[in-house]
Amino acid sequence: MQQIPVSLWTLIAGILVSVISIWIGQNHTLMPVEASLQAPLVDGFFNVMFTIAIALFLVVEGTIVVFLIKFRRRPGDDTDGVALEGNVPLEIFWTAIPTVIVIGLGIYSVDVYNRMGGFEPTGHPHGAAHVAHMSGSALATTLDDTSAPTTAPAIGIGASPQTQGKPADLVVNVQGMQYAWIFNYPETGITSGELHVPVGADVQLNLSALDVIHSFWVPQFRLKQDALPGIPTELRFVATKPGTYPVVCTELCGGYHGSMRSQVIVHTPAEYDSWLSENQLAQKSDLHQAIAANPANLSKSEFLVPHVHDLGVSAASLESLVIGH
């Protein structure tokens, strides 16, 4: 029986490895749902790397298995193995192939980073209606610093090549502190412990940190950006799927780092407008005055009004009691 040439076996093995690795690389379930415009870019790059990794695994492990079987020690065979001093073509091959792969992945990653907005020109100006950075104490910053004009962060993920030079649809100032995220909407004065955004809107997050380095990560958006004390950073994205997604700090920031979590809620436009209306009513523009108000400066009726329900009397009765007193 004629022996099958090694070259044919190699061709067959190459086809099988290619088909298997491509199928696994495109059909795995390792990544969470894609919920941002940037997510498919990252997933495409990951799929390519995973496909290459599967192919290399099959080639290396398959070769080991074949050699274990083909060149195993036969019973009664006490001879020495074949002496090999090297194979220059083989060494060139297994050096050149990884080199080409690494260079190709490097070029691809730079392209993905650019398309995500990582190469946006730095130092671009924004007006007071679009950018405000937080400084000072957490409370004063969160409540007061909502309209000061400044320069946008020069570090982070900014506008994509398609949106460079265009202001974001929504700007949110995000401050990380041990162990919470504070989200401030400078155009409306809303402050929240959760990030609320409308689906399809171009959102710009101006990140800062009050104490130590934190890292803002939304797995479903495939986006991560450090929040640095004293150095503003930026994260710009477009959410594409309504839902609630976790916000995780991925920089070890202290003893309760694991509990530093929040969530981003992606609304439909109608739901987002409703959320804005409800919170603008709940958080008036003079909220910081109400929080910082000295009870000694309030009239008796003003001081007692919040306790009407607890006292079990009506507002009219309370007013008459105060006046009578």
Q: What is the pLDDT of residues 232-252, one digit of tens each?
A: 999 999 999 999 999 999 999
More confident call, 132 vs 276: 276
Distance CA 140, CA 189 (A): 13
Whether residue 25 has pLDDT greater than 70: yes
Give pLDDT tens digits for 143-185: 444 333 345 566 888 888 888 888 889 999 999 999 999 999 9
Report pTM. 0.71
User: What domains can be seen in the chain, in order of their start residue?
Assistant: 8-71+91-116 (no CATH), 125-286 (2.60.40.420), 293-324 (no CATH)
The Cα 54–Cα 20 span in angstroms is: 8
pLDDT in tens, 285-300: 444 554 444 555 556 5
**Strands laid side by side in the 233-238 sheet:** 155-157, 233-238, 202-209, 170-177, 180-185, 190-192
How many Cβ atoms sit within 10 Å of the Cβ of residue 112? 17
| Alpha carbons 39 and 245: distance in angstroms, whole number | 14
CB 81 within 8 A of CB 124: no
The confidence score (pLDDT) of residue 268 equals 95
Q: Quote the tokens at residue 288.
A: 């910081």
64-73: average pLDDT: 88
Q: Is the pLDDT of residue 63 over 80?
A: yes
